[in-house]
């Protein structure tokens, strides 16, 4: 019961962070559940609260989506996210997580210094960034972080940034969730108390976080995203393997 309560609390934080930075549910809930379930099952199980929070966030921000960026970046991310999910059971490893953490640190520093904003990425880069975030996310379970880091290079305002990242995440979930359920559906179903606690938490956190987002000034929004990306990268680099 205590672990379920902790899962709800972390779910609230994760939902709030995701509503501000465009990612966070998988990044925060997966390490927590990995303590009990192991990394492989945790990545698959967290896909359920992730899709619930993402769908709710998308509904609340749906009018702010940048459709052009969604089509270019989002399609590549969804396709390669499915590929990463298929390869998850074979290639997932602590070494890959460390590599991913290093990439996030570089991206976070670039976001904090404004370097990502000065890149002004175009359509070819959108496809490449979408593909990279998709395949890494399927393998590691944290593609939202590198997706938000990549989106820092595109000239989109605060609400469009989060809305577009959310819409892309929903596409990715639609591709990877059936794979996880097919591979580990029975094991996931056995964890229904934890998943229920996580879902309650991320729903509440999403509602709170969306309100906070509207109060963040545009001029500092991307610095906040860069800071969150950097923090996650440092954690993934130093955290003990699971």
Tell me the per-residue pLDDT of 46-74, one tens digit each, with 9 for 90 and over: 999 999 999 999 999 999 999 988 988 88
* 33: nearest Cα among 19, 56, 14: 14
The predicted model gives 74-102 an average pLDDT of 75
Contact 218, 157 (CB under 8 A): yes
Position 238 scores a pLDDT of 82
Q: Is 80 exceeded by the pLDDT of residue 93?
A: no
Residue 143: the pLDDT is 74
What is the model's pLDDT at position 7?
Answer: 96
129: pLDDT strictly greater than 80: no
Query: pLDDT higher for 155 or 65?
Result: 65
Average pLDDT rounded to a whole number, residues 124-133 = 78
Is residue 153's pLDDT more than 60?
yes
DSSP secondary structure of the chain: -HHHHHHHHHHHHHHHHHHHHS--HHHHHHHHHHHHH-HHHHHHHHHHHHHHHHHHHHHHHGGG--HHHIIIIIHHHHHHHHHHHHHHHHH--HHHHHHHHHHHHHHHHHHHHTHHHHH---HHHHHHHHHHHHHHHHHHS-HHHHHHHHHTTS---HHHHHHHHHHHHHHHHHHHHHHHHHHHHHHHHTTHHHHHHHHHHHHHHHHHHHHHHTTS-HHHHHHHHHHHHHHHHHHHHHSPP-
Q: What is the pLDDT of residue 236?
A: 81
Q: For residues 73 and 206, is the Cβ–Cβ distance under 8 A? A: no
State yes or no: pLDDT of 220 exceeds 80. yes
Q: For residue 131, is pLDDT > 60?
A: yes
Tens of pLDDT, residues 166-182? 998 898 788 778 888 98
Q: Quick one: pLDDT at residue 50?
A: 94
Using the CB atoms, write b or e for 155-176: b if 16+ within 10 Å: ebebbbbbbbbbbbbbbbbebb
208-220 average pLDDT score: 94
**Confidence label for 141 from pLDDT (cuts 50, 70 and 90):** low
- The candidate with the shortest Cα–Cα distance to 191, out of 31, 45, 84, 22, is 45
Decide if pLDDT at 163 tops 90: yes
């Amino acid at each position: 019961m205590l672990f379920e309560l902790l899962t709800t609390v972390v779910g609230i934080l994760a939902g709030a962070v995701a509503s501000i930075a465009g990612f966070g549910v998988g990044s925060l809930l997966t390490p927590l559940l990995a303590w009990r379930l192991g990394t492989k099952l945790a990545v698959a199980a967290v896909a359920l609260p992730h899709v619930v929070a993402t769908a709710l966030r998308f509904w609340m921000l749906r009018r702010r989506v940048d459709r052009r960026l969604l089509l270019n970046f989002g399609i590549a991310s969804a396709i390669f996210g499915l590929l990463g999910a298929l390869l998850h059971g074979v290639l997932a490893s602590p070494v890959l997580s460390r590599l991913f953490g290093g990439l996030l640190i570089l991206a976070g520093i670039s976001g904090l210094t404004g370097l990502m904003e000065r890149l002004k990425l175009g359509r070819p880069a959108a496809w490449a960034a979408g593909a990279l975030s998709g395949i890494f996310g399927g393998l590691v379970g944290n593609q939202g972080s590198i997706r938000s880091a990549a989106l820092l290079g595109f000239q989109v305002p605060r609400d469009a940034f989060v809305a577009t990242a959310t819409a892309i995440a929903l596409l990715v979930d639609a591709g990877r969730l059936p794979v996880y359920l097919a591979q580990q559906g029975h094991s996931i179903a056995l964890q229904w108390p934890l998943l229920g606690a996580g879902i309650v938490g991320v729903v509440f956190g999403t509602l709170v976080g969306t309100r906070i987002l509207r109060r963040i000034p545009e001029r500092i929004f991307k610095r906040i995203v860069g800071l969150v990306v950097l923090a996650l990268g440092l954690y993934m680099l130093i955290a003990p393997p699971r």
